[in-house]
Amino acid sequence: MVEQGHGESGSRPAAIVTGASRGIGRAIALELASLGYDLVINHFDSSADGEPDNSNALKTQKEIKDLGTECEVMRGDVSSAEDRNRLIALAKSKFGRCDMLINNAGVAPSKRADLLEATPESFDRVMGINLKGPYFLTRQVANWMIKQKKQFPQRALRIVNTGSISAYTSSPSRGEYCISKAGVAMMTKLYADRLAEYNIGVFEIRPGIIATDMTSAVKDKYDKLIAEGLTLIKRWGQPEDAAKAVGAIVEGRLDFCTGQVIDVDGGFHLRRL
């Protein structure tokens, strides 16, 4: 359990987690709740007919509350400046603080397309959600964190970005996704550099092949590749594997490691002969 309050009577630390209705984001949100964090979780789920769908987010909210902390839910698109503003306003009004930002929201291309046939529309959508959104959400939260740090110097403030092995692994059928995650990797370095003077740590977790909705369509392909040794640890990664890495950051075990990438990929990143 993290130290709560840091001198503020009865006040728990609070976190914003984007893309938290399911998959890795949900697992991270539950990990934070288990460590004593109140939460604002963001999602952008839609039903088959395109209507807003809060069902997964509400299930996650209940699971968080069952762990003994508070949780607010907001449906919004992180690529939208208006929605980013609403997200921060909700955190400020409900909890008055943000000790942790998890930039987890991300999408794959709606349709995989050969690099030579990719469309500007798909590029703009993926980059807007995966890179532009978190880049500017981090700017806003970082400025808020700086103000908090000046008022409460002992408060532990951290930012974690969910990257991907696609930051350095070529997939020509989803080039926009690879480029967006390469951008997230550099974004982590930039913010770690800029915020170090305020003792605000910035980290990247870099998942590999994780069993989520995003990878369900290619399950058979990766079952075969994993069995053949694509990863050193011959199993699919689980969302909880990524959440445990975030938990280590939350507990303060990596506070001298700002800018660090934590590979959560079963050893995929190792080159071997």
Residue ranges per domain, the chain?
14-264
Would you give per-residue pLDDT tens digits along the chain (273 residues)? 554 444 343 489 999 999 999 999 999 999 999 999 999 999 999 877 778 889 999 999 999 999 999 999 999 999 999 999 999 999 999 999 999 999 999 999 999 999 999 999 999 999 999 999 999 999 999 999 999 999 999 999 999 999 999 999 999 999 999 999 999 999 999 999 999 999 999 999 999 999 998 888 889 999 999 999 999 999 999 999 999 999 999 999 999 999 999 999 999 999 888
**Superfamily of chain region 14-264:** NAD(P)-binding Rossmann-like Domain (3.40.50.720)
pTM for this model (two decimals)? 0.94
- Contact residues for 217 (Cβ-Cβ < 8 A; gap 6+): none
Express each pLDDT in 179-234 by its tens digit. 999 999 999 999 999 999 999 999 999 999 999 988 888 899 999 999 999 999 99
The reported pLDDT for the residue numbered 10 is 43
